[in-house]
Chains A and B, each alone.
Chain A
Amino acid sequence: DTEVTQTPKHLVMGMTNKKSLKCEQHMGHRAMYWYKQKAKKPPELMFVYSYEKLSINESVPSRFSPECPNSSLLNLHLHALQPEDSALYLCASSQGRQGARGNQPQHFGDGTRLSIL
């Protein structure tokens, strides 16, 4: 079991549905990430939150809307998705501070497998 918990594990939704993916960590990490991973590909960064503020948006379509309600929680709100958005969505976290002493690796959850009908 990982220390980053994602729910649900599986999600099937239609193109007109609205749903949310949830991520929780209790390691005291202050940076949290959303990734998208397609089969046989590495994870692809979508968003980064640092100290609950959005710091990186990798030009992700607006049908994906991230939210960081507090330092332990990260949500990804989904609306009007397309079939090509079917993928494994991964959440990760790392310690907040950067710099030579503070660079720490990212720890991943097991993801939500999303299928768009």
Chain B
Amino acid sequence: QKEVEQDPGPLSVPEGAIVSLNCTYSNSAFQYFMWYRQYSRKGPELLMYTYSSGNKEDGRFTAQVDKSSKYISLFIRDSQPSDSATYLCAMRTNAGNNRKLIWGLGTSLGVNP
């Protein structure tokens, strides 16, 4: 079993839809959770960064962390064609000098006009 599981999709939705992207994980020591967006031929761009459990909202994006279920989500409201990209979840423990991120495979999202 991988430490982080993420459905690679592809996921295709119409413009204006609410998109839900998810990752599950097995290591209960993970404390920091990130969502990155990666366009074709570009580097990953940080979208959301959360510590421990709870919700965080930034514009059309909401990140949720449920540590009891070991489950994180990214919601995109009013999706736009410009949201078409690969979305990667990443997480890390708080141990010592740990800087290593554990990544999901990424979900490919297409938003159709």
Contacts and interface: CB of A to CB of B under 8 A. Distances in A.
Contact of B46 (A40, A103, A105, A111): A105
A62 B97 CA distance: 24
A106 interface: yes
Contacts of A98: 96-99
A92 B44 CA distance: 10
A42 B97 contact: no
Given A50-B97, A90-B43, A110-B43, A40 B8 contact: yes
A108 B42 CA distance: 9
A56 B92 CA distance: 15
A98 B96 CA distance: 7
Interface string B51-79: 10000000000000000000000000000
Given A42-B105, A105-B49, A48 B43 contact: no
30 contacts: A4-B43, A6-B43, A31-B99, A42-B88, A42-B90, A42-B103, A42-B104, A42-B106, A43-B44, A43-B101, A43-B103, A45-B100, A55-B97, A90-B44, A92-B43, A94-B99, A98-B96, A98-B97, A99-B94, A105-B32, A105-B34, A106-B46, A107-B46, A108-B43, A108-B44, A109-B43, A110-B42, A111-B42, A111-B43, A113-B41
